[in-house]
Structures are given as structure tokens and as C-alpha cells.
Amino acid sequence: MSELSCDIGIGGMTCASCVARVERAIAKLPEVEAVSVNLATESARVTWKSPDASPVSAQAQQAQQARLRRAVRDAGYEPLSAEHLAQAPAGAWAGFGPVAIGLVLSAPLVLPMLGDALGKHWMLPALWQFLLATPVQFMLGARFYKAGWHALLAGSGNMDLLVSIGTTAGWLLSMWLWLTAPAGQMVHLYFEGSAVVITLVLLGKWLEARAKRQTTDAIRALHALRPAKARVITPDGEVEIPIEELLVGDRLVVLPGERFAADGVVQEGQTQVDEAMLTGEPLPVHKAVGARVTGGSINGEGRVLVVVSATGTATVLANIIRLVEDAQAAKAPIQRLVDQVSAVFVPVVLVLALITLSAWWLTGHSLEVSLIHSVAVLVIACPCALGLATPAAIMAGTGVAAKHGILIKDAQALEVAHKVDTVAFDKTGTLTVGQPRLLSLTSVNSGDGGDTTLLLLAASLQSGSEHPLAHAVVQAAQSQGLQWQAPDEVKAVPGFGSEGQVQGRALLLGSLRWMDALQVHAGSWQIQASQLQMQGATVSVLAERTTHGVAALAVLAFGDEPKPGAQSALNLLRERGLRLVMISGDNKGAAHAMAARLGLKPEEVFAEVLPGDKAALVQSLQSNPQGQPHVVAFVGDGINDAPALAAADVGLAMANLNADGRRGGTDVAMQAAGITLMRGDVALVAGALDISARTVAKIRQNLFWAFAYNAAGIPLAAMGYLSPVVAGAAMALSSVSVMTNALLLKRWGR
């Protein structure tokens, strides 16, 4: 059974109740496994499963998406293109027309209220009030009637239903008072309340829409990184073609100041490349022949020729966009509580409004007064802010994080990260440069052919490996101009090393622990290896399998360097009160020597940990016999870190680049982690934890204010202290304040 997912844009949602209704409508469809509707992005992420394990055809996918769109329409909303968020932002005043008309028509109705404060009598004739208020009620307010009617048909309620019922009640009351008044008598009507409430709600929705466009700036900015055309070298010369037509292997000419149209490898020229929008790195990166470039980055001063290596959805930029979209479409765990509250909120408000009407009427007040107080309850209780509180903060938080090179893949990681009390680091490539150098190669026996011959054998064996130590061996052979040959029957032994056939010899290259397990012949090389370990070097042994057993040929010593700024980044985390741990597969001497250079204490180091044991170690760090379990974040960068990244409460994958610009095993780590750090800067770990804390704080603030508006406003309206006009203003203000508070996250910076 294969699992598929898609995004659907949804127009017309106004509050948290709309979200719940759309989710129910889509969830009823067969084969739908999960659905998450986001009010702030006006979209739904739907996951479904095919009935069998066979690949789903494009036609079947289109049919399923058509059914999803039909379900959205049947629920009373407008299905939109999933790409509507990536469209160019509208002007600052886009959509203000209806609001402007409402303000113009409502202003004369409000003047008498101002006049009363000044001791003036500016009351308009009833006919004029009717002529001004009715277009606002039934033309500008038509959207509320339509959406409210669909909600009723679906057996639920939403903000539109509350607004339409409340304002219609005020308009009908005014009509009744006007038509039943004695001839020539001036009566107080409530046309202004209905018209002003609708206008204020429209104004609030317009301000909210403007704020939403700002929360999606990150997505639009990433989409804008892709140039429309690329300059391709063909047999007929240079030709500009749309980037949609690019193929892997095409040769592109990129001039100074242009953006790279796709991922590729520099074939000619050298330049400086600005990758700030992708990695958050402010300084340009030097690129020479053989270096990899990323689509969307900006070429510096050099003209370069690039061979395309990835296009379309396979590019790094497309993956980044997908990660950000996934995070913004996801629903944080705290949002589930809000959804449960919203599902019953509108029916409860309708009951409270009816109770308010009955209570005032039964205590001797007129139907007119009772109805006005009931309308105020309906208007102020609209749950708009509840639906926006969480997604608005998540969108703003993930957007600003992406701008600084921190990609948050799911909302759960964002919500949990601020609780982290323990941070465990993989050593090689995470805390260190990850490109160790071969410090020495010493032959065990003079009859083995000398150091140069042994280096050639070691380089041949390691030539196909992605391990950092293997790269160091190959680079050392390259520096001496040695030409190695491809090995045969190569087999990697996880956590130990590799073995294979080179020039007919069965060679092994790996750790001392592996040599002990293989019972390699003892000799003076063991003393030499121990001395090198005591000096902090990582030691490997080149050995040969013979008819007499396994014999050591040479001892290889490797050294690595701490990343620039790693120690200060660790100190910053320690100042936040976090427990720090370094996990390494190296021997204890090498691990503790590096820990000392990083400012870590001996008890914070776990050495000689096999890749398969990292996940178990993370789980042991999570346990706390004295009380609440520890919340552990694990930071790693390689394939062998994937299990530990998945086992941790929060996994942070560090997207290191190799010397040739490749990411090595980082892509696997990124899939297992909830957060990806787009460059190898240890300081980004503190940044990720900080943006999590600030985002969660904004969510809590927003939920507090959303509930506070209703908790305070409904009783005040029921007791008669708030008019419908003031209630409408407060309701509109609640949504705008929630969005504005979330947008403050955009000012975050490390």
C-alpha cells in the first residue's frame, strides 16, 4: 500500500471552526489517512493511501485530488491552487475596496454618536439610515451570509454565522422599530451597529490578510530565487531557455551577478558565490573547477561554465522550499487542543446569546434592549483569533529561521526544542572540521615495500569510500602524485573499517578495536599506536589477510581540527543551562584530547561508540531515575547519525559540505532530523533552540489573548457593558493583534 500526499489551497476560511469543518469533510473521503488544515496559509495537507501496493498512476492521483477539491467545495469553501502562496504579493492596498465602501457608508451613521458626545443632535432620518446601512448589510455582508449558510447546511457554526445572525438581528430590529413607530416620531434605530460591525470585521480581515502575506514572505522569497531562464550552450551557440526545460548534463553559462538556474558543477572558471538565502552564510564562498554550486545562489565577479547535476524537484532549493512548506503546513501538538475547543465554541456561543436574550427579557427589559445585548455576545465571541494564534506564530518562526539557515521540518520539533535540557553532539564533522589529515603512515616491517607503497595500497582500498578518514588517505596519496587502482570485492564493516582486494592482496584498513577482534599478530606497532592515541591522534591499521592469519602492515595516524567558533558556541549552550555531551567512535585518547580543545569536561565525553550504539546512548541520556525524563537534542551530520537523530527528542542535522561541495551523507541525516542546519556552524544549534523558545512563547501569548478576549468580552457583552459596535471592534482587534504579535518574530536575529 503506497502513501501519497498533496496540498490544496482553500479560500473562504475565516476562523478555527472553518478549519475543523474542512478537516471533517476531507477526512470522510475513502483512503484519506490524515488531513491538516492551516488557517494562516489557507491550505490543507492531505495524506492518503492507495488500496494496493502498486504505484499510483498520474491519472489516479488527479482523480483523488479532484475528489479532495470537490469535498472542499461541498463544505462551502473555494478550492485553490496549492501554489497560491508562491504568487507575487499583492499591493499594500489590495482588497481594500469593500472596506473603503463600508467606511464611507458607515461614517454618516456613526456621526450622531460623536455628536451626542459634543452635545449636538446629528441624527439622520430613518430613511437615510436605511439607505446607508442596507447595502453594507446585504452587499458587503453577502460573504457572511453565504459562508454562514454553508456552515448551517454542514451542521456546524463559524465566525460568519455569528456575524450574519448578529447583524441581521440588529438590522431587523431597526426595521421593526422604524415601521412600527408613530408617524412623525423620531426613534432610536440600530442600523449603525449592524453596518459598523460588518465594516469593522471586513477591516479586520483585510488587515489580517496583509499580515498573512508577510508570514508567507519566506516561501515567496525562496520561490523568487529561481530565475525564469537559463543560458545553455548548444551546437548553435548560447541559447536562453526556460529553466523548466533544463536537463541533467546541460552546460550553462552564468555571468557575474546572475543566479544559478540549477544545481551543478563548475567546469570552467572560478568565482565567489553568495549563498546567503540558502544557508544564511553572509560571506561569499569561493568556487573553482570541480566545486558544486546550488541553484538560486548568486554568482559573483567571475564568468563560469556549469554542468547541470539536478533540476526541478531534485535541487537543493526545491528541497528547502519543500521543508519550509511542510513545517508551515504542519499542525503543532498544542493546536489539537485549540481545534477541540473550536469544534464546540460556536454552538456554545449561540446558546449563550440565547440565554442573554432570555435573561434580559425575563427580567423586565424590552425586547429591543435584550436583542442588542444578545447581538453583542454573538459579535464579540467570533473565534477568529483562536484559529490564527498557532499557525501564524509557526509560519513566522519557521520563515525567519529559514532566512538564517535553520530549516525546521515539522512543527513538533519546533514545539519540543525549547524544552531541551541535554544536547549531544557527534564529534567528527559536527564539532570538528570533519576533514582529518593523514599525519603519518609508518610501516611495521621494512620488507612490506616502504611507506610510499603502503600508502598506495591504502589509497587504492579507500578510493571508493565516503568516510572522512578514507578521504584523508586518498588526499595524501594525491599530494604525492600517486596513481592508485580500483579495488575489488570491497566490503565496508560498519564501525570498524573496510576490506577488499588490491593487486591480488587481501587488505584491511580499520580501527584498533577491529584489529583486536581479528587477533592481528602482536608487535611493536601496538606500542606505537598507543603512543599516537595518547597524543590525541585517531589511529587506524593497514593489515593483510594471509594463510597464517591477519598481519599488520602499517600504522596510520589522523588528526582533525575543531570547527572555528565551536568552543564559544558550546559555552553559549552551557550558559543556557544545558547539559552537553560529545559522542565519538574514536578511541578515548583522541576523543578526550579533542574534548579538551573544545572546552568539554571528561565526564561529557563518550568515546569508542559504534554507529549502531549511538541511538541507544541517546535513549540512555533521556532516562532520568530521579524524576522527569531528560529532553535530548542530538546534532549529527552523517549517514551513521540517522538512527540517533531519529531517537532523540529533537534531531538537528548539520548540512556540512565536503571539499568538493558535496553533502556526503548529510541528505540521509536531514531526512531523519526534525531540524536541518544549512551550514556547519555549531552556533546555529543555540539559534534553533532560541527560535523554538520564542515561537512557543508567541503561541502561548496568542492563545492567551485569544481566550482572554472571549473570556472577558462575552460576560461584559452579556451584562450590557459592550455595544455591538464596540464588540465588533474588539473582535477585529483580537485577530489583528494575534497576527501582529506573531510577526514580531520576523525581527529575530542571532
Q: What residues are annotated to the active site?
A: 426
232 vs 209, 226, 254, 681, 682, CA distance in Å? 41, 16, 9, 35, 38
CB 16 within 8 A of CB 387: yes
> What CA–CA distance (Å, rounded) separates 284 from 49?
45
CA angle 543, 547, 552 (to 5 degrees): 20
Cα–Cα nearest to 698, from 311, 303, 215: 215
Strand, coil or helix: 675: strand
237 burial type by CB count under 10 A (0-12 exposed, 13-18 middle, 19+ buried): exposed
How far apart are alpha carbons 340 and 333 in whole angstroms? Answer: 12
384-403 vs 724-743: helix axis angle to the nearest 10? 20
Query: What one-letter code names the amino acid at 157?
Result: G
Sign of CA dihedral 458, 460, 463, 466: negative
Question: How many Å apart are CA 472 and CA 474, to the nearest integer?
Answer: 5
C-alpha cell at 362: 425575563
What's the start-to-end Cα distance of the chain, in Å? 45
Q: Determine contact, residues 446/425, Cβ cutoff 8 Å.
A: no
Using DSSP, state whether 684 is helix, strand or coil: helix
* Three-class SS state of 612: helix
* Cβ-contact 273, 297 below 8 angstroms: yes
Of 47, 62, 35, 40, give the one whose Cα is nearest residue 2.
47
Kindly state the cell numbers that stand for 380.
464579540
**Which residues lie across from 265 on neighbouring strands?**
292, 307
Q: What does the alpha-carbon distance between residue 573 and residue 690 come to, in Å, rounded to a whole number?
A: 10
Strands (E), 346-502: 406-408, 422-426, 437-443, 488-493, 497-502
CA nearest to 392, candidates 241, 530, 211: 211
d(CA 193, CA 161): 17
Question: Among 540, 542, 485, which Cα is nearest to 508's?
Answer: 542
Q: How many CB atoms lie within 10 A of CB 728?
A: 29
Contacts of 161 (CB under 8 A, 6+ apart): 147, 148, 151, 152, 346
CB 681 within 8 A of CB 656: no
Q: Output DSSP code: residue 563.
A: P
- Cα 176 to Cα 166, 171, 182, 189, 405, distances in angstroms: 15, 9, 12, 9, 62
Asked whether the beta carbons of 641 and 613 are under 8 A apart, the reply is no
Give the C-alpha separation, 303 to 284, whole Å.
Answer: 15
Which DSSP state fits 432? Answer: B
What grid cell was written down for 324? 519550509
Which residue's entry shows cell 548539520?
654
User: Under 8 Å CB-to-CB from 359, ≥6 apart: which residues?
Assistant: 370, 718
Q: How many distinct helices (H) and strands (E) make up the chain? A: 25, 26
Grid cell of 712 as nine digits: 472577558
The residue assigned the cell 442600523 is: 191
Is 8 within 8 Å of 43 (Cβ atoms)?
yes
Cα dihedral: 35, 40, 42, 43 (round 10):
-30
